[in-house]
Structure 1
């Protein structure tokens, strides 16, 4: 019945072209990506052995959503968490987790000083930057991070390293958390990036 009405409406050339235009518009609307996409992306990550310790180097790109960038510019502190895992690859069983580490950074904007302050929450060191881009470039450039002592590894075994970056919603101020949980604009995380140790 609906199909017969649609066919009847499309009999005149003007109505037919309007109908076709509407269908094309809907198709484009449903298939086109959003004008803005935010998220975290691990560009590269490697490990190397230095004096019996495996160290991590990584480059991470942080693209904030407008809501998150606006909150930061209004002095809401953001906590970026890096999750790292080292797993022993076992073909017949689940992989065994050998080590799990977290590196956390808190980024705060100080309006009076017009500075972005990055606090390394693992070492309590603080760094100041004149721009948000410079602050996130610093957080995204991980160098010589001590990951794992070689003595924890079994000879002849294969190990996989995984790295993920995410915005820690639990570290946001309490009044902002419900909105952050419900909005996709606040769910900023990278995919797991894996490579052999």
Structure 2
């Protein structure tokens, strides 16, 4: 027969296991095919795609009319060997996905430019949201000579942009924590 402490340990293990399984069923954001190249205008540009897969809870919220806002951060840093790296420049892009039930369409808005595109299916809309095309990172003349640089990028679902009544639930549920790992790409 298990002691009271043993029962608590078993219960805790079950809760942690259930939380791990719930996290595994949640969504993911993964970087696909990043390319950094020097363009004709002498600027370093980044092109990449994030594969965004929504978990069931987030997908249901989207189909119920909840707008989803995704943040993309591209940062150029020195690689000087220190545990902290000094940021040289940073670029943020925000994109919003909304399901239009009456039109059976998904609207993607680039919040930095105001450009709007509509899609008939969710996978095409998510592919568009995750696509970063020829983003200007820095002019080659602005780089410090003799220093190595790395581009750090990540993507995440912005919980703060959710409707206020939904935020407490989103903060307490791992289903809503949708973010990529931090990726680092050396500047050639």
TM-score by length of 2: 0.84
What is the total number of aligned residue pairs between the two structures?
173
| 1:170 counterpart residue number | 160
| Aligned ranges 1:60-139 → 2 under 5 Å | 60-91=50-81, 94-139=84-129
Instruction: Indicate the structure (1 or 2) with the bigger Cα radius of gyration.
Output: 1
Residue equivalent to 1:48: 37
Alpha-carbon distance in structure 2 between the residues aligned to 1:2 and 1:112: 57
Q: Equivalent of 1:144, from 131, 134, 139?
A: 134
Question: Equivalents in 1 of 2:148, 2:158: separation in Å?
Answer: 31
Provide the rounded CA distance (Å) in 1 between the counterparts of 2:122 and 2:134: 23
5+ residue gaps, structure 2? 4-12
Counterpart of 1:38?
A: 27
Runs of 4+ in 1 over 6 A off after TM superposition: none
- The equivalent residue for 1:196 is 186
* Unmatched 5+ stretches in structure 1: 4-25
What's the TM-score once normalised by structure 1's chain length? 0.80
Aligned: 1:180 with 2:170: yes
Deviation string, structure 1 residues 45-92 (Cα, Å, up to 9, x no partner) = 221111111111112111111111011101110001101110011135
CA 1:154/1:42 → structure 2, altered by over 3 Å: closer, same or farther? same
